[in-house]
Chains A and B, each alone.
Chain A
Amino acid sequence: MKKAWKNILTTILFIGILIALLWILSVIFQPRNNTSAEGIQDEQANGILAEPENTIDAVILGDSETYCGYIPLELWRTYGITTYVCGTTQQKMYYTCDFLRKTFETQRPKVVFLETNAFFRDYGYAQIITNTLEDKLPIFRYHDRWKTIQTQDLIDDVEYTNIERDKGYHYYTKADPADTNGYMQENSGKISIPKKNLRYIREIQKYCEENDARLVLISTPSTKNWNYKKHNSVEELAKELGVEYIDLNLQSDQVAIDWNTDSRDKGDHLNYNGAMKVTDYVGKYLKETELFEDKRENPDYADWNTQLEAFDQYKAEQQEQ
């Protein structure tokens, strides 16, 4: 018995020292800036880390539907409202939750748009464990920095300075028409949202409530990813949570997507044309909330004008090519 206790204590001590070593390595390997060269992942979405504190009015969270569908600089141009798209490819709900948590560390957005496509994306607990491990001990996420790490990293503090010009939006103009056959045909059925995701959605709602932010569920137009059954499920969930739900797939009178010209990949995602229409709707919505003042003339936000100019110049260059 005495030997068994000794073995247990030895094991605990061994694991304890191991965790301490991993923690020290995590501090060393943590990227010093939010650039991919420094090892940060999802550089564009993580650009929000470098935005000056408490300057973002609204954030848009979700998968690729978000960074293809919402243009923060157009919202700035028209309404002077500051938004950021924290969208990543194939985003899972646990990662969405992480982004919101990170956002609230430095920002106080009054509106949080939660794109609904990722609600239906399932994954295993193994992925959640991996993500949690990477969050708690970032060495597991940034271990590949061994290739670039320098002695200076042992001294430097973490300082995020890389402000993303497009605020998370991915510019793309090419059109690939979509087949709209059967798209949003009325149906009373439902597709169940995985329980794991429901837990994260509730957590996101809790974060929003704690930070006085309005949570809005939003479905971006997509002939490939969206249908009436998903709409029904999200609508029911929104009612249950007591949050607003906007399904832009059913707002063709206000968001008149032309599926011949407004999709980049056969209805999977929107291109710039489609994103402009969606952004216009979102802009009007945000204005109607009367939560935001127009900051275009505010010298503290002068950088946004500079970035808008750069964005326009980039667009012009792209159109020339």
Chain B
Amino acid sequence: MQLSTLFLGGRYDTMTSYFSIAFLVIFLPVCLILYSLLPQKLRKYFLLVASYGFFWLVSGKLVIYLLLTTLSIHYFGLWLDRIHRARNEAVKGVEKAERKEIKKRFLKQSRWVLAFAIVLHIGVLLTLKYSPFFTTNLNAVFTMLKLPLQLQVPSYLMPIGISFFTLQAVSYLIDVYRETIPADDNIFRLGLFMSFFPQIVEGPICRYDQTAQQLWEVKGIEYHNLSLGLQRVAFGLMKKLVIADRLNPLVKEVFANYADYEGGVIALASLCYTIQLYMDFSGTMDAVMGIGQIFGVSMPENFKRPFFSKTISEFWMRWHISLGAWFKDYIFYPVTMSKPMKKLTTAARKKLGNHFGPLLAGAVALFLVWLCNGLWHGAGWNYIFFGMYHFGFILLGNIAAPAVKWLHRKCHINPEWFGYRVFQIIRTGILVVIGEMFFRASTLQAGFAMLRQMVTNFRFATLNGDLLKQMGVDWKDMGIVLVTILIIFAISVWNEKGVIVREALAKKPVVVRWAVLYALILFIVIFGAYGAGYIPVDPIYANF
């Protein structure tokens, strides 16, 4: 009998969510107990086995992708390391001019190795995730050109989290190539870095120097970490169960049948989707961070209160931070710092000045970043549009910066004035909601049709109890969602002021502390959208 059948009744996907009963009540407690019982030196190996076990329970035999990726980067990493060592040997005692030549030769070698490794890993991702999209579009072009040629659209099973662990693998290789980290000769440590089960489904996309050594040096579970970690998991559970899952029927209905709804309702559904996406993803991240903390592992935060952003650019520095940072470090900077781009910047600076000159090369890099960002989220024109939409606003923000400053001066607007900041936050929020609408829309055409409805028919005339019922919710659902959002908003304001609520709470008397925790748990138990009548919503980002 397969272990997955024993636990999950043969349904591999049952445990995809860190909030599933299978994970929270069976897998995690069993892991914690066994982990605690094991001697210190075996704990890291146990985490590795548990991580592969988790992956196998979710993706079955597709675990081979993770294994091969790990073996491959281990090999390529050591190869790069050998080239670096050979170079160091070769330049010893050599004249400066010759040293430069030798270095250049070795650099070329390591560049080839890196390029080959990246093509291999990104190639697998492209094949699995994007080949159906590219083939479909190619067939459409053939049809348009009236060519008697149609390619068969491939279909592949994808392992969970491939978009996340591939980026993690590539970042490891580039960091070794750049010599910011040494290649890891310990396959088990590298394996644990790649597979750590709390982060394998939805990230964060960690760098080797952020987590590998921490994971390899894990210690026993400490009461303080256990307590704070579980609190964070509970907070994530509240976001997911009370808000994200409760809004799901409304979002699903309106996005599926947008033609039946007036613009105001579509706008409301788009807002609800943005909230749902944030609560789902950041709630999952809370669970991931919380579980990490239980094991004493600190991972990079993926969210920093994005809805307090005053510009789109700032929004993306606060939303899915690890992905943004990955694109910045491995696409944006290498492109802008490349020789052709440097030349372009120098030339443009002469003609366009110091503000607009560097923007040209920056725009090229930014375009690539947002094209990749859109495609990373999915193979579809709506995702590409989503990327271009943000590229457009960020570029516009950069171009218009001097003009905006001038306007502030002329109109005597203090950009730090509270009212103006609120205006900026709301403006950014509206742009984000529209972007997310395209992101969620079934097709790009559907996204435009929804936008048209929003612009030409922005009314709430039909919005009443009956309409909400048709959308699978009622006023009470909306009311409890609003209350929970206000709670999260209050906590976010504290966080924004630098207060870490869990740690502040830990300093309070036990009666206050426990009262707050009981209130949180009972709030989730009562108001969570789970059980009969609710369909558990798959974690949204796990599909990307």
Identify which of B169-177, B195-203, B210-218, B528-536 touches chain A: B528-536
Contact between chains at B21 and A126 (CB < 8 Å): yes
Interface centre among B5, B9, B14, B517, by most chain A C-beta atoms within 10 angstroms, is B9
19 A-B contact pairs sorted by A residue (CB < 8 Å): A3-B223, A4-B223, A17-B514, A122-B5, A123-B9, A124-B8, A124-B9, A124-B10, A125-B22, A126-B7, A127-B21, A129-B25, A129-B26, A134-B531, A139-B525, A143-B526, A143-B531, A146-B527, A147-B476
| A124, A125, A139, A146 interface centre (most CB from chain B within 10 Å) | A124
Q: Using an 8 Å CB-CB cutoff, how does the interface string of B227-239 with A read, 1 for contact, 0 for none?
A: 0000000000000
**Chain A to chain B: the 6 pairs with minimum beta-carbon distance, closest first:** A124-B9, A126-B22, A124-B8, A126-B21, A7-B223, A123-B9
- Bound CA–CA A143/B7 (angstroms): 26
Kindly list chain B residues whose C-beta atoms are within 8 Å of the C-beta of A144.
Answer: 531, 533
B4 to chain A: closest residue by CB: A124
Which residues in A have their C-beta under 8 angstroms from that of B395?
A: none
A29 to chain B, nearest CB (A): 8
- CB of B11 within 8 A of chain A? yes
Q: Are A140 and B525 in contact (CB under 8 A)?
A: yes
* B50 vs chain A, min Cβ distance (A): 17
Distance between Cα atoms of A144 and B246 in the complex (Å): 11
Q: Which of B's residues lie within 8 Å of A, judged by CB?
A: 5-11, 14, 20-22, 25-26, 223, 474, 476, 514, 517-518, 521-522, 525-528, 530-533
Tell me how far the C-beta of B476 lies from the nearest C-beta in chain A, rounded to whole angstroms: 5
Which residue of chain B has its CB nearest to the CB of A22? B525
A141 to B530 CA separation, bound complex (whole angstroms): 9
Q: Which A residues between 6 and 47 are near B, CB-CB below 8 angstroms?
A: 7, 14, 17-18, 21-22, 25, 29, 41
| Cβ–Cβ < 8 Å partners of B10 in chain A | 122, 124
Contact A141 B532 (CB under 8 A): yes
- Taking CB as reference atom, which chain A residue is nearest B6? A125
Do residues A21 and B518 form an inter-chain contact, with CB atoms below 8 A? Answer: yes
Say yes or no: B11 contacts A143, CB within 8 Å. Answer: no
Complex Cα distance, B527 from A55, in Å, reads 39
Q: Does A313 contact B (CB under 8 A)?
A: no
With A21-B518, A124-B10, A143-B528 already in contact, 13 other A-B pairs whose C-beta atoms are closer than 8 Å? A4-B223, A14-B514, A122-B9, A123-B9, A126-B8, A126-B25, A139-B526, A140-B531, A141-B532, A143-B530, A144-B531, A144-B533, A146-B476
Q: A17-B518, A41-B532, A125-B6 given as contacts; is B525 within 8 A of A143 (CB)?
A: yes
Report the bound CA distance from A186 to B496 in whole Å: 72
Bound-state CA distance A17–B533 (Å) is 29
Report Cα–Cα, A162/B522, bound state, in Å.
Answer: 30
Look across to chain B and name the residue whose beta carbon is closest to the beta carbon of A92.
B9
Closest beta carbon of chain A to B510's beta carbon, Å: 8
Check B518 against A127 for contact (C-beta < 8 Å). no
With contacts A18-B518, A143-B526 taken as known, whether A125 is within 8 angstroms of B26 at the C-beta atoms is yes
